[in-house]
Every structure is written in structure tokens, then in C-alpha cells.
């Protein structure tokens, strides 16, 4: 029996962890049923390297942004710069951007400015915004809501591990929540309940590789193939078949990442 088809909606294939075996990593993902993945740029100056990876592998797409933990150390992105980069056919999302007050609270104002720039780029391109949020739920909910009132945009809360209130704000705005390996950890019951309470048509799955490997790989390097483990754990918690969960999250990905869906169809034609 073949593995159900899955998408790893967020990984970092350019990180040194994969430098020596990238073709093998992509091949293992395909063997596990992971036929598409989005590799994420966290510093704009690294865009050429991420783009080259997406161009090298048929099932790999990419997104570009300034990670909030890098916001103070990197030149501030401009909307025009992001819009220009987004013309590439395999560029499918804006980010990751967001707020992280866990380690970098001192740069909160800079992070917020950067976030608003990325939101405007998402509006102008029609591409989904990819959000990183940690220990900043109140400011995140406020900014996302303010900006959405100023003009609609699409968004996924990547590796969602915040509270139920931010989850509800995101869902009320029409956004998506992405399930990472954290949801498969034994002590993540409250997080699993947040996902269970969300409409299934608003869920994605991801690895955030090389981080956050799900059991039984916890503590080891994560890779896109392991998204199958996270999907299986979430499907079990929801009480549905893995095939059904995979099909729903694939459809959700195509609905949000419309450019990836179109490019994939063109490649298959």
C-alpha cells in the first residue's frame, strides 16, 4: 500500500544540516509520500541560495522574508523588494515574518515594523503570509487584526504553538494553522485540542526541519519525510483515517498556496 500524499508546508532545506545530502533528503521525503515542500528563507540576502534549491527539485517551492529574530540584524526589507522577488514562478509565499519576544523582545518595535511590511507585500502579491509567533500573542493578534481591517490578505500561522485566543483570532480572520512535530509530543495535549477545535479545512502540516522532529525522532535532526509522522499523530487525535487527513491538508495547501498549486499542475501537464 502506497503512502498517502502529503505536503511539508514549511522547512529549511538551505540549512547546513542538509548540505551534504540534500538529494537523499528529498528522495526520502518522496518515499514517505511527501511530494511537495516549501523551503523558507529567513534573511533576504540568502534568497539566491533558497531559489537555487527550489529550481533544482521539481517538488520544492520557496518563500522569502526576514525572520523576526533577524529583524534587528538585517537591513529592513521593503515592499517593492519582496514584490520583485515574488515574480519567480516557484516563489509561493511571503515570510517567514512575525514576532518573537522569547529571545529578542528588545527588538519588538523593529519586528513589528518588519511584520507590517511583509503583510503589505502579501496584499500586493496575493501570496500567503507565513507567520512565526512566539511569546507575543497579544501584539500578534492586534497587528494581524488591524492590518486585515486595512486590507485583506491570506496567512498561515506556521508551527502554531501559541494559545487558544491567538488561534481563534487567526481563524476568525480566515487564516490557517500549521501543525508541526510539537503536536505529536506527549505533553502537547492542550495544543492538540486547539487543532481539534479548528475546522479541518484550516489545517496544514509541516516539519520546520531541521527542528522539532516528532516522535520517535525527537531530539534528532528533523527532515521533510517526518511530516508523515506528524500527520499520522494528528489524524489519530482527530479520529480520522490518515488518507482523509492527508487529502484534506493537501487541498488546504492548494487553496492557500495557489501559486504552488498552479505551478504543480503545469509541471504535471
Cell of residue 87, nine digits: 515574480
Decide: residue 5, CB within 10 A, 0-12 exposed, 13-18 middle, 19+ buried: middle
Cβ within 8 Å of residue 252, ≥6 positions away: 176, 201, 202, 203, 204
10 annotated as belonging to a binding site for a ligand: yes
Distance CA 123, CA 137 (A): 22
The upper half-sphere exposure of residue 62, i.e. CA atoms within 13 Å in the direction of its Cβ, equals: 29
- Asked if residue 120 belongs to a known ligand binding site, the reply is no
237 assigned binding-site residue:
no
Establish how many alpha carbons lie within 13 A of residue 256's alpha carbon, considering only the half-sphere containing its beta carbon. 29
Query: Is 12 annotated as contributing to ligand binding?
Result: yes
DSSP class of 72:
T
Identify the CA nearest to 79 among candidates 96, 100, 94, 69. 94
- Residue 14 burial by CB count (10 A; 0-12/13-18/19+): exposed, middle or buried? buried
Give dist(CA 219, CA 216) in Å, integer.
9
Please enumerate, by residue number, every residue annotated as part of a binding site.
10, 12, 96, 132, 158, 208
Please enumerate, by residue number, every residue annotated as part of a binding site for a divalent metal cation.
10, 12, 96, 132, 158, 208
Amino acid at each position: 500500500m502506497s503512502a498517502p500524499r502529503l505536503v511539508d508546508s514549511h522547512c529549511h532545506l538551505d540549512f547546513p544540516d542538509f548540505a551534504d545530502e540534500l538529494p537523499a533528503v528529498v528522495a526520502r521525503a518522496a518515499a514517505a509520500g511527501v511530494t511537495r515542500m516549501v523551503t523558507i528563507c529567513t534573511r533576504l540576502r540568502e534568497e539566491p541560495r533558497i531559489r537555487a534549491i527550489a529550481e533544482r527539485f521539481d517538488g520544492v517551492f520557496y518563500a522569502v522574508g526576514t525572520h523576526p529574530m533577524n529583524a534587528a540584524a538585517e537591513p529592513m526589507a521593503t515592499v517593492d523588494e519582496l514584490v520583485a522577488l515574488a515574480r519567480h514562478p516557484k516563489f509561493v509565499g511571503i515570510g517567514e515574518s512575525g514576532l518573537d519576544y522569547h529571545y529578542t523582545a528588545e527588538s519588538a518595535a523593529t519586528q513589528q515594523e518588519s511584520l507590517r511590511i511583509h503583510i503589505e507585500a502579501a496584499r500586493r502579491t496575493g501570496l500567503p503570509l507565513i507567520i512565526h509567533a512566539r511569546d507575543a500573542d497579544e501584539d500578534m493578534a492586534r497587528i494581524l487584526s488591524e492590518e486585515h481591517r486595512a486590507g485583506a490578505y491570506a496567512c498561515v500561522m506556521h508551527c502554531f504553538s501559541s494559545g487558544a485566543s491567538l488561534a481563534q483570532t487567526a481563524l476568525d480572520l480566515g487564516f490557517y494553522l500549521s501543525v508541526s512535530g510539537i503536536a505529536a509530543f506527549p505533553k502537547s495535549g492542550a495544543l492538540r485540542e486547539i487543532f481539534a477545535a479548528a475546522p479541518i479545512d484550516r489545517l496544514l502540516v509541516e516539519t520546520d526541519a531541521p527542528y522539532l522532529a516528532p516522535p520517535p525522532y525527537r531530539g534528532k535532526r528533523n527532515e521533510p519525510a517526518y511530516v508523515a509522522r506528524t500527520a499520522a499523530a494528528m489524524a489519530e487525535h482527530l479520529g480520522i483515517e490518515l488518507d482523509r487527513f492527508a487529502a484534506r491538508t493537501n487541498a488546504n495547501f492548494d487553496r492557500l498556496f495557489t501559486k504552488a498549486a498552479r505551478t504543480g499542475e503545469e509541471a504535471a501537464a
